[in-house]
């Protein structure tokens, strides 16, 4: 018997703004053919750019793209998610997979909006963060209902093209992903700002302090991600007993950095719950 490879699934993006264009760029860079991708967006310039840049099939009509795709990524703003999903329900087949990237819109609502007389498609919620825009994202994924193997693996490929991917067992854990990753680039920005202000306070020019703080954040993140050495060991290695780093960390601990970060994350989780 001759083994045949399954056909490459086609991915359709509904809304081709910042996130979708980053995902499309990531997929093409990862070796996906532009023929396997298509996108709908009401903005003429957005569609023209995608055609000129990648030769992508585009349409101003969301339904056109849904008919072409095996996996449909809803990449519109949360405010328009409900009308967009409801308008597509009758066009979506139960064999398709729909991926929502909107924070705060929960599975039961998506299932209701996407249900039709034919049934409900497989639904996945994805929670990427903004570094995905430059290929360094961290995304949490959760299947809201029964999703085909094709749907799962294609969705994983989409987000793996712009960073790392974690599958969750429970939808409720997406709020924890928001606290640890979705909102967290801003925590690191705040820390860089604090380091910069501290450096300025100690007499460095502001721009120099900022450059040093940014490069140090980048260096620390690369050290943590590019070796198998646990982060705790990395911290201990740069903390000589009685040295400058030890004194600085002691001061951070005296201010209970851990408790402060936990409190900030709980605030993010509470807000995500309230927005749902
Ligand atoms: P964006 O505004 O850049 O893109 C949204 C696109 O949707 C626009 O191109 C717009 O023309 C299009 N659009 C508007 N109405 C439409 C409709 N009825 N049908 C089809 N397309 C329509 O926004 P974005 O930053 O790409 O975010 C998209 C979604 O991704 C949001 O739900 C956001 O919360 C989520 N998200 C974004 C990021 C990020 O880093 N940008 C990270 C995590 C989650």
**Cβ atoms of residues 75 and 21 within 8 Å:** no
Each residue's pLDDT tens digit, 106-150: 999 999 999 998 899 999 999 999 999 999 999 999 999 999 999
Which pTM value belongs to this model? 0.93
Helix (H, G, I), strand (E, B) or coil at 147: coil
Mean pLDDT taken over the chain: 95
56 to each of 11, 67, 108, 114, 157, how far by Cα in Å?
11, 15, 32, 26, 18
Which of these ranges, 4-13, 129-138, 201-210, has the smallest mean pLDDT? Answer: 4-13
Q: Which residues, 6+ apart, have CB-to-CB distance to 267 below 8 Å? A: none
Best residue among 14, 15, 49, 124 to mutate for probing ligand 1, ranked by most atoms within 8 Å of CB: 15
Task: Indicate which residue's Cα is closest to atom 31 of ligand 1.
Answer: 77
Q: Would you say the CB of residue 72 lies under 6 angstroms from ligand 1?
A: no
Atom of ligand 1 minimally distant from the CA of 103: 34
Q: Is the CB of 16 under 6 A from ligand 1?
A: yes
Ligand 1 touching residue 190 (CB < 6 A): no
- Residue keyed to tokens 């699934």: 9
Instruction: pLDDT band for 39, please (50, 70, 90 cuts).
Output: very high
Q: How many angstroms does the Cα of residue 46 sit away from the middle of ligand 1?
A: 12
How far apart CA 211 and CA 131 sit, in angstroms, is 19
Helix, strand, or coil here: 207? helix
Please tell me if the CB atom of residue 275 comes closer than 6 angstroms to any atom of ligand 1: no
* Mutation pick for ligand 1 pocket among 14, 16, 18 (CB with most ligand atoms within 8 Å): 18
Tell me what pLDDT residue 4 has: 60
Residue 79's pLDDT is 93
The answer to whether the CB of 43 is under 6 A from ligand 1 is yes
Is the shortest distance between the CB of 273 and ligand 1 below 6 Å?
no
Closest by alpha carbon to 215, among 195, 229, 234, 231?
195
Residue 6 has pLDDT above 70, yes or no: no
Q: Which of 13, 150, 145 has its CA nearest to residue 68? A: 13
First to last CA, the chain: 51
ipTM summary value:
0.98
Report CA Rg, the chain.
Answer: 22
User: How many angstroms separate the alpha carbon of residue 22 from the centre of ligand 1?
Assistant: 11
Q: Two tokens at 34?
A: 């532009």
Sequence-ordered alpha helix ranges (H) in the chain = 18-29, 44-54, 62-68, 78-88, 107-114, 149-160, 174-177, 184-201, 206-226, 231-237, 244-254, 257-275
pLDDT band at residue 103 under the 50/70/90 scheme: confident
pLDDT in tens, 46-82: 999 999 999 999 999 999 999 999 999 999 999 999 9
Distance 192 CA to ligand 1 centre (A): 28
* 246-254 contact pairs (CB < 8 A, 24+): none
User: What is the number of residues in the chain?
Assistant: 276
Q: At what angle do helices 18-29 and 149-160 cross, to 10 degrees?
A: 100
What is the spatial distance between Cα 37 and Cα 9, in angstroms, rounded to a whole number? 9
Nearest CA to ligand 1 atom 22: 15
pLDDT of residue 247: 96
Q: Phi-psi region for residue 242, left (φ > 0), alpha (ψ -120 to 50) or beta?
A: left
Q: Does the beta carbon of 75 lie inside 6 Å of ligand 1?
A: yes
Q: Is 85 in the pocket of ligand 1 (CB under 6 A)?
A: no
Res. 275 pLDDT band, cuts 50 70 90 = confident
Q: Can you tell me the mean pLDDT for 151-172?
A: 97
């Amino acid at each position: 018997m001759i083994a045949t490879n399954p056909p490459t699934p086609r991915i359709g993006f509904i809304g081709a703004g910042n996130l979708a264009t980053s995902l499309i760029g990531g997929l093409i860079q990862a070796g996906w053919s532009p023929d396997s991708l298509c996108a709908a967006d009401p903005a003429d310039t957005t569609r023209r750019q995608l055609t000129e840049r990648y030769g992508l099939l585009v349409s101003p009509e969301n339904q056109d793209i849904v008919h072409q795709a095996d996996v449909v990524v809803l990449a519109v703003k949360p405010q328009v998610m409900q009308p967009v999903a409801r308008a597509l329900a009758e066009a979506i087949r139960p064999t398709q997979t729909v991926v929502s990237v909107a924070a705060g819109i929960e599975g039961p609502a998506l299932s209701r909006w996407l249900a039709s007389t034919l049934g409900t498609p497989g639904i996945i919620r994805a929670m990427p963060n903004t570094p995905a825009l430059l290929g360094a994202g961290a995304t949490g994924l959760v299947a809201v209902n029964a999703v085909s193997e094709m749907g799962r693996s294609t969705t994983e490929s989409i987000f793996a093209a712009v960073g790392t991917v974690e599958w969750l067992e429970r939808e409720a854990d997406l709020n924890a992903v928001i606290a640890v990753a979705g909102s967290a680039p801003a925590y690191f920005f705040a820390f860089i700002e604090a380091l910069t202000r501290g450096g300025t306070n100690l007499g460095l020019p502001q721009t120099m302090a900022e450059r040093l703080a940014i490069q140090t954040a980048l260096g620390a993140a690369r050290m943590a991600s590019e070796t198998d050495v646990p982060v705790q060991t990395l911290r201990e290695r740069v903390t000589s007993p009685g040295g400058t780093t030890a004194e600085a960390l002691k001061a951070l601990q005296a201010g209970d950095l851990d408790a402060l970060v936990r409190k900030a994350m709980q605030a993010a989780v509470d807000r995500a719950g309230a927005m749902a």
